[in-house]
A = this chain, B = another copy of it.
Amino acid sequence: MQSLGRHVLAEVYGCRFEVLNDIKKVQDIMVNAALEAGAEVREVVFHKFSPQGVSGVVVISESHLAIHTWPELGYAAVDVFTCGDRVDPWDACNYMAQMFGAESVDASEIKRGMMTEQEERLVVNI
């Protein structure tokens, strides 16, 4: 059995309020995380909440990166989903944690789309 994708879910703690509440900074870090991992960016959409918090997604050819921030808690929920062998989701995840100046990260990887090898030979869009 092979998986089509790898999905890293990261709990990012101890980040600075000013970074997590700045839509421009959060968006730049997310896009650069995708690029650092060698992903191809397709769509970028971010939203600033009132009074605080940012949500956003970077759609990449290899799937997506998503983030939701709680600046008042110094916390961000991040997930990085990649398919194919070319991009490692941990590269993006580690870059983000570093750029957010996180004090701690609790992350785990989940395999997505378990297929037989025969089925996987049919895959053409990754």
Residues of A whose CB lies within 8 Å of any CB of B are 4-5, 7, 9, 11, 42-43, 45-47, 49-53, 55-57, 59, 61, 63-64, 66, 68, 70, 72-73, 75, 77, 79, 81, 83, 110, 112-115, 119, 122-125
Instruction: Tell me, rounded to whole Å, the shortest Cβ–Cβ distance linking A96 to chain B.
Output: 16
Are A45 and B57 touching (Cβ within 8 A)? yes
Q: CA separation between A9 and B45, bound complex, in Å?
A: 21
Are A124 and B51 touching (Cβ within 8 A)? yes
Complex copy number for this chain: 2
* The one of B46, B68, B73, B115 that contacts A115, using a Cβ cutoff of 8 Å: B73
Q: CA separation between A119 and B122, bound complex, in Å?
A: 48
Overall SS of chain A's interface: strand
Which B residue sits closest to A56, measured CB to CB?
B59
Q: CA separation between A4 and B78, bound complex, in Å?
A: 13
Are B4 and A77 touching (Cβ within 8 A)? yes
Q: CA separation between A28 and B56, bound complex, in Å?
A: 20
**Which chain B residues border A119 with CB–CB below 8 Å?**
73
